């Protein structure tokens, strides 16, 4: 599928081919992926979910997203920043999320860091790495996994104390939150040219 072009979905609309393997993917692709996301809590959620996705398929995260939201107080930074060691242990027993101690601890530590930031500071930092819109990819082979901007964003987040974010995770965040629009050129859901 690496060089696959946009492909007709069950409704005949051309979509990025990765979106056609599950109904949850279609809904996510059509209504969320690549659309601009703003707000510190919303971006914290996406950052956390991308970190939990590391090493797994995105469908695993999508299918547990409501469980994650329930477990992590809807990703309200101030609320998660108050979680303690007993919350970490509770989360390790929660079947509604991915029970990975390193990822859970990073999620809690990141909230504690972000709680000390000014409102809008996470939003401003992340969006400062949005590149100018580029040429739309024609096939999946044209979509990178890492860019200079995602590498720089990952470094900036790490320097600020944010854990469990590398260049690939940062690029997935950029795609998910609309900093880049990697919908294929023929995709009926491309957001900008």
At 3 the pLDDT is 76
Q: Which of 28, 44, 127, 171 is catalytic?
A: 28
Over range 146-173, report the average pLDDT: 98
Q: Are 77 and 40 in contact (CB under 8 A)?
A: yes
Q: What is the mean pLDDT of the chain?
A: 95
Whether the per-residue pLDDT at 105 is higher than 80: the answer is yes
**146 — pLDDT class (breaks 50, 70, 90):** very high
Over range 59-68, report the average pLDDT: 97
At 2 the pLDDT is 62
pTM, rounded to two decimals:
0.94
Query: pLDDT over 90 for what percent of the chain?
Result: 94
At 1 the pLDDT is 55
Is 50 known to be catalytic? yes
**193 — pLDDT class (breaks 50, 70, 90):** very low
Q: Which of 58, 127, 129, 171 is catalytic?
A: 58
Q: Which of 50, 127, 129, 171 is catalytic?
A: 50
* Tens digits of residue pLDDT in 64-79: 999 999 999 999 999 9
Is 28 known to be catalytic? yes
Is 58 known to be catalytic? yes
Over range 19-44, report the average pLDDT: 96
Whether the per-residue pLDDT at 45 is higher than 70: the answer is yes
């Amino acid at each position: 599928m690496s060089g696959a072009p946009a492909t007709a979905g069950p409704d005949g609309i051309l979509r990025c081919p990765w979106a056609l393997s599950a109904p949850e993917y279609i809904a996510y692709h059509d209504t969320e992926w690549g659309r601009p996301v703003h707000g510190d809590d919303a971006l914290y959620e996406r950052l956390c979910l991308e970190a939990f996705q590391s090493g797994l398929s995105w469908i695993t995260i999508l299918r547990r997203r409501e469980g994650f939201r329930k477990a992590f107080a809807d990703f309200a930074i101030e609320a998660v920043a108050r979680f303690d060691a007993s919350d970490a242990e509770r989360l390790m027993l929660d079947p509604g999320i991915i029970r990975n101690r390193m990822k859970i601890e990073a999620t809690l530590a990141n909230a504690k860091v972000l709680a000390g930031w000014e409102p809008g500071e996470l939003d401003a930092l992340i969006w400062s790495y949005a590149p100018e819109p580029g040429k739309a990819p024609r096939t999946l082979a044209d979509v990178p996994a890492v860019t200079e901007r995602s590498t720089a964003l990952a470094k900036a987040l790490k320097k600020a104390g944010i854990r469990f974010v590398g260049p690939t995770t940062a690029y997935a965040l950029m795609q998910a939150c609309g900093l880049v629009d990697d919908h294929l050129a023929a995709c009926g859901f491309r957001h900008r040219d």
